[in-house]
């Protein structure tokens, strides 16, 4: 497993040089850059600017592992859906140009105007189209477990059954809904065959972190676990160093701990 940072709250005000420096100081190996933050990695970048971004991360020895978009595919409005799909394709092109291996997209709710089944199918079809498009660029499309209703793991499973292309993967998001119904282990195993990345949050919260990391170790997960922290702090570097230590303890095999 590898530890990275999502620039959702921590890192949102850092430009690329600061982000790279802070990740190296705290032992974070990579980053997922969220849209609309100070680093400015957006689809509007020119060819030269994209090359500069790629070069900065390569020379800084921090992996730009993904781009966090707000593209979503649940709207019953066909024009809104089409705009989001086309925008996601632009993000895929950007990911390729800056050296990122994937983009993050999200479901964001279940509209009342149509059936749940229809919405899940629509999201899955959009994911499938984007995964096929992304395959031409060597870019994964990572579906974050997100949104009211859509964050329920059985719903995510149905979406992924429709989006059967191997470039379409799940971004596990460590939500309370992971524990619903059959519980964490069964819910996790419901989508573990499509697992791409993991968003982790407050590692000292009540979420069953030990059990989650045991499940990751059991499946020999070698991908990215990415800290997406919504709690503000006056000293993020200090807390990042602390989280690195907690993460190392959780990620270690039992015979290492």
pLDDT at 257 over 50: no
Q: Give whole-number Cα distances, 130 to 118, 127, 133, 170, 241, in Å.
A: 18, 5, 5, 14, 36
* pLDDT category of residue 253 using cuts at 50, 70 and 90: low
Mean local confidence (pLDDT), 165-176 = 97
Alpha carbon 5 to its chain centroid, in Å, reads 10
> Which of 14-28, 189-203, 225-239 shows the lowest per-residue confidence on average (mean pLDDT)?
225-239
pLDDT digits (tens, 9 = 90+) for 8-49: 888 889 999 999 999 999 999 999 999 988 889 999 999 999
Mean of pLDDT over the chain: 95
Give the model's pLDDT for residue 36. Answer: 84
User: Left if phi > 0, otherwise alpha if psi is -120 to 50, otherwise beta: which for 19?
Assistant: alpha
Coil, strand or helix: which one is 111?
coil
Tell me the pTM.
Answer: 0.95
């Amino acid at each position: 497993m590898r530890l990275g940072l999502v620039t959702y709250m921590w890192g949102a005000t850092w430009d690329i040089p600061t982000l790279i420096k802070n990740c190296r100081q705290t032992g974070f190996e990579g980053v997922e850059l969220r849209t609309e933050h100070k680093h400015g990695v957006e689809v509007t970048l020119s060819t030269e600017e994209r090359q500069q971004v790629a070069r900065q991360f390569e020379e800084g020895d921090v992996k730009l592992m993904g781009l966090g978009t707000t593209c979503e595919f649940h709207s019953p409005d066909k024009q809104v859906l089409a705009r989001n799909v086309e925008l996601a394709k632009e993000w895929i092109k950007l990911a390729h140009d800056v050296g990122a291996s994937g983009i993050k997209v999200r479901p964001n709710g279940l509209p009342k105007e149509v059936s749940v089944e229809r919405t899940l199918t629509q999201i899955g079809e959009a994911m499938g189209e984007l995964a096929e498009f992304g395959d031409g660029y060597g870019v994964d499309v990572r579906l974050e477990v997100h949104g009211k209703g859509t964050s329920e793991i059985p719903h995510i499973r149905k979406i992924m059954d429709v989006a059967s292309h191997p470039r379409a993967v799940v971004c596990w998001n460590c939500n309370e809904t992971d524990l619903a119904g059959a519980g964490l282990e069964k819910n996790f195993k419901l989508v573990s065959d499509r697992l791409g990345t993991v968003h982790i949050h407050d590692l000292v919260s009540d979420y069953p972190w030990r059990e989650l990391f045991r499940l990751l170790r059991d499946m020999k997960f070698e991908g990215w676990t990415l800290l997406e922290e919504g709690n503000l702090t006056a000293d993020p570097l200090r807390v990042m160093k602390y989280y690195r230590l907690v993460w190392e303890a959780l990620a270690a095999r039992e015979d290492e701990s």
